[in-house]
Amino acid sequence: MSSFIRKKAYTGPVQGVVLDWAGTAVDFGCMGPVEVFRESFHLFGIDISVAEVRQFMGLMKKDHIRHLCRLPSVSARWREKFGQLPDETDVNALYAETEPRMVSTIARYSDPIPGLLETVDGLRKSGIRIGSTTGYTRPMMEILVPEARQKGYQPDAIVCSSDTPAGRPYPWMCFQNAIQLQVYPMEAMVKIGDTVSDIEEGLNAGMWTIGLSKSGNSLGLSQDETDRMDPENLKNRLSEIEIAMREAGAHYVVEGIWACLPIISDINKRLCIAASSR
């Protein structure tokens, strides 16, 4: 019995792009989830900082809570209040408060990031399919997707962390996008996101990766706050974020989705050069 084994490197054009949601496509600064996580922990008498929350952005929301509970600073506060370290029962209790709050909150953070609609239009004109992955669960996306659609954004595929065995950095959501978009091989796809876990997800799936330094969680500022930031300080912060994303393995790093069309063209050129050299 014979089996098919693909041996040749892919040398065609980009066929699919998979976007993250908050901080990449909508919600400049990835503000919505931060607010909810802080509220949920506050209900248990534990105050957590914005910086603590942002460390794990991009993960499936229950995994995000698990990682927060493992932070020495957070677990110490929990032990001081409850006399023991947080366990899985506590994670479940926190998540029970987080999911409904996330559902009710994220609709307020559905505005497309500047350049998103133009980028999607440009990709589609080039015959490129648009997929998406997110740390949000399906009930959360049932609220966010219609809001984004009303504002002009509707990807061809939407895969949530709750749709697969595990969220980022595992590649399962990207693989599911490939199935829904009917794109093969994975080298024909590009993952775009604003967190290191987005980059890891794309790399683990065998995709090209583009990190976004300005619009998302890494900088963690609203558009107004970003516009008011001292230019030199902003430049330095963006440089630090770019270094971190490149160290994570990102093939490219740009400020936001508005700068991605030229990168897709460059990837196509690299694929074409690779083809002509064989």
Task: Please say if 20 is a catalytic residue.
Answer: yes
Catalytic residue, chosen from 7, 8, 20, 269, is 20
Distance CA 110, CA 145 (A): 8
Question: Which two tokens mark 208?
Answer: 């090209």
Catalytic residue, chosen from 61, 62, 191, 214, is 61
Look-up: residue for tokens 């409904």? 100
Distance CA 70, CA 55 (A): 12
- Paired residues of 252 in beta bridges: 210
Distance CA 168, CA 209 (A): 14
Please check whether residue 22 is in contact with residue 32, taking contact to mean a CB–CB distance below 8 angstroms.
yes
Please check whether residue 215 is in contact with residue 192, taking contact to mean a CB–CB distance below 8 angstroms.
no
Task: Please say if 121 is a catalytic residue.
Answer: no
Which residues are identified as catalytic?
20, 61
